[in-house]
Amino acid sequence: MNHNILVVEDDPFWQNLIQETLAGDYQVRVVATYDEAKQVLEEAKRQEERIDLVTVDMGLPSLLDSEGATIKAGQRVVNYLSRHHPDVPCIVVTGLPDISTTQVRDLFKRYNVFDFITKHNFDLGEFLDIVERAIEHAGDEEPHGTNRIGRYEIVKELGRGAMGIVYQALDPNIQRTVALKVLRPDLTSDPEFKQRFRREARSAGRLIHPGIVTVFDAAEHGNISFLVMEYLEGQTLDQLIKETGALPPARVCDIAVQICDALDYAHDAQIIHRDIKPSNIFSLPGDRVKLADFSIARMLAEPRLTRTGIVGTLDYMSPEQAMDRDIDHRTDIYALGVVMFEALTGQLPFQTDNPGATLLKIISEPMPSPRDLDPSVPVGMAAVILKATAKDPARRYQSAAEMRQALQSIPQDRDKTDEAGSTQENSR
């Protein structure tokens, strides 16, 4: 089978070298810019054509955004792949000779990069070996043999994330529909990721709450590690926002109250979620919601594991989490405030195409009010968001229960034209 590889490289010498190296065994397409790469990937998706691997030159010429800020095009390609094509492995080619000791490795571990290779003393054999391993792991992501993992019969794939693939499955022993979360094969050889995966089972399995997805079991089958979870009929908040845009304030308030209740329970059990975002919140019939994926939850009482970089989703990270500092339960409160902002406005508070620029804004820029984007957002809800997302954790709500109480006390008929300037300044 000929695998399709997209090479994103602007230097003619490296274009020719990489293409000649791969052409004998792979179908290779070369593009030179972010826009060209995005166009190829989008067209392949429309045509249902598989792209098996992307190599990205981190030295692509920088671009300027509308405000004159510099955007590194290579980072933009990697960020786009992580967001829109998480199943496509990516190899970063860089001109940095000290790639193994720089923070670049930690930064891009968050963006699903399979491996790195430096142009300094570039080794064709090493490059081909990395390509072969990436292709092999991509092919191994599907269940082996018949549509079964262990005793569970696979029905269909539900989604893919940074740690694995989720399938709808049937437990034939009790005829129950479940969701299987399968650890990515390329992570099974990484002791820390396997430890983190087992920790998800330990932490999430302790949580029995109507607002939290239930974990039934954790198991291994051959070299496949997986969780067995409750199957939910519904859609994620992320899907809902993409379909409908901004949600009514009353609905956002109700969602936030339910998530606060779930977080209050988890925090009381000494568990931090660390990755609150719309794609981890399920909207169910009857206006119920459930919080999913404690895959990077950290037990407060558990010894700290070896770090391989920041974990979480950048757009929803608190400043302290983005700076890789020690965190506590208040990082979840910050993230929920960002989720509320997005649900009310249909936009993130800090929108950029460059993860480095997003990181800088999270750390240094004041949180905008949702009323700056939509003046119809109730003053009370804007005030809750600004307090929840204060840069200093000491100025946020000190518990999810306190935030829930603030949300429940917002008058439904309060004048939306009231000024919230003093609240906004105090919360920052």
Catalytic residue numbers? 275
Please choose, from the candidates 16, 37, 39, 19, the residue with its C-alpha nearest in 3D space to the C-alpha of residue 28: 19
CB 315 within 8 A of CB 350: yes
Distance, CA of 9 to CA of 116 (rounded, Å): 15
- Please give the helix or strand (H or E) that residue 321 lies within, else none: helix 319-322
Distance, CA of 387 to CA of 397 (rounded, Å): 7
Kindly report the CA angle at 280 between 50 and 357, in degrees rounded to 5? 75
| Tokens, residue 392 | 């200093």
* Backbone phi, psi, residue 282, to 5°: -100, 130
- Please give the helix or strand (H or E) that residue 390 lies within, else none: none
Task: For residue 179, list its beta bridge partners.
Answer: 168, 229
Please choose, from the candidates 346, 348, 424, the residue with its C-alpha nearest in 3D space to the C-alpha of residue 391: 424
Kindly list the distances between the CA atom of residue 56 and the CA atoms of 48, 73, 119, 125, 309, in Å, as whole numbers in the listed order: 22, 10, 12, 18, 21
Q: What is residue 70's three-state secondary structure?
A: strand
Distance, CA of 120 to CA of 55 (rounded, Å): 16
Percent helix / strand / coil, the chain, rounded to 5: 40, 20, 35
Work out the end-to-end distance of the chain between its first and last CA atoms, rounded to an integer number of angstroms: 56
Distance, CA of 184 to CA of 202 (rounded, Å): 19
CB 276 within 8 A of CB 339: yes
Q: Are strands 215-221 and 224-230 parallel, antiparallel or unpaired?
A: antiparallel
Residues comprising the chain, all counted:
428
Q: Please list, in sequence order, all residues whose beta carbon lies within 8 angstroms of the beta carbon of residue 5, skipping any fewer than 6 positions away.
A: 22, 26, 27, 28, 29, 51, 52, 53, 54, 55, 131
For the chain, state the CA radius of gyration: 22
